[in-house]
């Protein structure tokens, strides 16, 4: 019963799950290691990424946005252009292929913003697997288009009405389903979270973002960026793009959490930014930073972005922060909204509200960096799903304060 180090990043990670799932995790680990060295598996995965997902996704120089601030040149890694509208498809396809290899006929997944649910439903349709998606009731309301998309793709979407009715509770239900049906079901976890080997698997399947972006920036700009910025909910798009730059000490890496209505308000999902409630703990199988009360009960979170609205962060992020390799910060709902509008007007791109958090942070930093610097943003998804939320936030009756001149 040793070898726990294998499952951890420093002291973070591990396998804190009910025993019924341990054999499934051991099986998954073995299947994954086999897949890593299985040429046919890798060939099939690469083939799907190119001919189905549309990879490589472009790297776009955001000229007007850069000029607007007169600072660093801003590049966007366009995961919003991946099939199904976000980076989530990279991991969903990879894991669905693994599930098939393990002989599992059924996929269960959680979803917050609905992007991972859509990606999983897409992969299930493509590979002929049964698919059940758990989604919090609150998220079903605020991400309705994705709910309908999942249903059209043939997935059964089950509403979760417990707890905060968001991503955390959807994961609880997905795990309960998995515990019950573990023999024929694969849990297709969508972020770099959960028990080992999920954080590693999700990172590896998402590392395509970083390896493409690194090659593209070298080809287009002739050098590495000064800074890479990505939003961090569980942290899969961030770890995906960071992974290619971890060994480049000159590249500053910045993860952006959801600041919600501000840290003091208590209504946020910024695990690293709230010294009172963001402490090391265990949630959903992994040891990491978790928003919790003084008694170790998991806290309710808030973000305008359903995909960032979660009380724990991927364990590798906790580790990268502990060794000082990645800097973590947060932006508020309001700042994310403003960034959304600015990107729409200046570049003709509607980003997902999740990704708008990364854009907002870039907008703070770009003016401070000189013109000779390059700033790379992972634009992890597109914003069509968020139109309702955004229109509501912009309406005069909204409790959000009116938007400033930045959007003009």
Partner 1 sequence: MNRLPTLEEAFQAARSQGRAALMPYFTIGYPDLLTSFAIVQGIAQAGADIIELGIPFSDPLADGPTIQHSTQVALQNGVTLETCLTFVRQLRQSGVTVPLLLMGYYNPIFSFGEERFVHLASECGAQGLIIPDLPPEEAGGLRQACQHLGLAMIHLIAPTTPPERIRSIAEHTSGFLYVVSVTGVTGAREELPPELVEFIQQVRAVTELPLALGFGISRPQQAVMYGRWVDGVIVGSALIEFVRRSENPIQAATAFVREFRTALESIFSAKKA
Q: Which stretch binds partner 1 (CB under 8 A): 177-185, 186-194, 226-234, 334-342?
A: 177-185
Interatomic CA distance for residues 5 and 258, integer angstroms: 30
Catalytic site includes residue 110: yes
Nearest approach, Cβ of residue 283 and partner 1 (Å): 7
Token pair 């994954």: residue = 32
Binding mask 181-200 for partner 1 (x = CB under 8 A): xxx-----------------
Of 88, 100, 104, 168, which is the active-site residue? Answer: 88
* 127-166: contacts with partner 1 (CB under 8 A): 162-163
What's the alpha-carbon Rg for the chain, to the nearest Å? 20
Least separation in angstroms between residue 169's CB and partner 1 is 8
The Cα–Cα gap between 334 and 182 comes to 42
Nearest to 291 by CA among 316, 253, 318: 318
392 is catalytic: no
175 interacts with partner 1 by CB under 8 A:
yes
**Structure letter (DSSP) for residue 86:** B
166 near 137, Cβ under 8 Å? Answer: no
User: Given candidates 87, 142, 284, 317, which one binds partner 1 under the rule CB under 8 A?
Assistant: 284
Active site residue 380: yes
71 counts as binding partner 1 under rule CB under 8 A: no
- At residue 147's C-alpha, the angle toward residues 145 and 152, to 5°, is 95
Number of residues binding to partner 1, judged by CB under 8 A: 40
In the bound state with partner 1, the residue whose beta carbon lies nearer, of 96 and 298, is 298
As a whole number of angstroms, the distance between CA 27 and CA 272 comes to 33
Residue with tokens 């936030």: 393
Task: Indicate the length of the chain as a whole number.
Answer: 408
| Among 46, 151, 180, 406, interactor with partner 1 by CB under 8 A | 180
Should residue 398 be labelled a site residue for partner 1 when binding is judged by CB under 8 A?
no
For 363, residues 6+ apart whose C-beta sits below 8 A from its C-beta are 69, 339, 342
Q: Which residues bind partner 1 (CB under 8 A)?
A: 1-4, 7, 14-24, 162-163, 168, 172, 175-176, 179-183, 279, 281-285, 290, 292, 294-298
* Active site residues per annotation: 88, 110, 380
């Amino acid at each position: 019963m040793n070898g726990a180090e294998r499952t951890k990043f420093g002291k973070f990670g591990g396998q804190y799950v009910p025993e019924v799932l341990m054999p499934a995790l051991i099986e998954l680990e073995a299947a994954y290691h086999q897949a890593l060295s299985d040429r046919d598996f890798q060939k099939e995965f690469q083939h799907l990424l190119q001919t189905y997902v549309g990879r490589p996704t472009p790297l776009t120089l955001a000229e007007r946005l850069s000029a607007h601030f007169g600072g660093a040149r801003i590049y966007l890694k366009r995961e919003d252009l991946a099939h199904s509208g976000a980076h989530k498809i990279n991991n969903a396809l990879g894991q669905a292929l693994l599930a098939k290899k393990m002989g599992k006929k059924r996929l269960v997944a959680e979803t917050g913003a609905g992007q991972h649910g859509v990606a999983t439903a897409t992969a299930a349709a493509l590979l002929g697997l049964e698919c059940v998606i758990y989604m919090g009731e609150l998220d079903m309301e605020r991400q309705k288009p994705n709910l309908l998309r999942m249903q059209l793709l043939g997935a059964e979407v089950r509403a979760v009405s417990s707890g905060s009715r968001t991503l955390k509770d959807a994961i609880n239900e997905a795990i309960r389903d998995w515990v019950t049906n573990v023999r024929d079901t694969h849990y297709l976890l969508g972020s770099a979270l959960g028990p080992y080997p999920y954080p590693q698997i999700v990172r590896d399947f998402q590392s395509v973002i970083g390896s493409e972006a690194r090659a593209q920036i070298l080809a287009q700009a002739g050098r590495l960026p000064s800074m890479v910025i990505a939003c961090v909910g569980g942290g899969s798009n961030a770890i995906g793009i960071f992974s290619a730059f971890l060994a480049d000490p000159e590249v500053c890496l910045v993860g952006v959490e959801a600041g919600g209505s501000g840290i003091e308000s208590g209504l946020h999902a910024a695990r690293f930014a709230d010294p009172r409630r963001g402490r090391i703990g265990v949630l959903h199988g992994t040891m990491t930073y978790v928003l919790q009360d003084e008694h170790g009960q998991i806290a309710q979170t808030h973000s305008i972005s359903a995909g960032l609205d979660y009380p724990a962060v991927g364990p590798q992020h906790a580790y990268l922060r502990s060794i000082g390799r990645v800097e973590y910060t947060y932006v508020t709902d309001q700042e994310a909204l403003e960034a959304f509008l600015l990107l729409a007007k200046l570049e003709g791109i509607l980003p997902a509200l999740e990704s708008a958090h990364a854009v907002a942070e870039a907008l703070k930093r770009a003016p401070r960096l000189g013109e000779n610097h390059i700033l790379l943003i992972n634009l992890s998804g597109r914003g069509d799903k968020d139109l309702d939320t955004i229109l509501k936030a912009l309406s005069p009756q909204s409790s959000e304060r009116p938007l400033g001149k930045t959007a003009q």
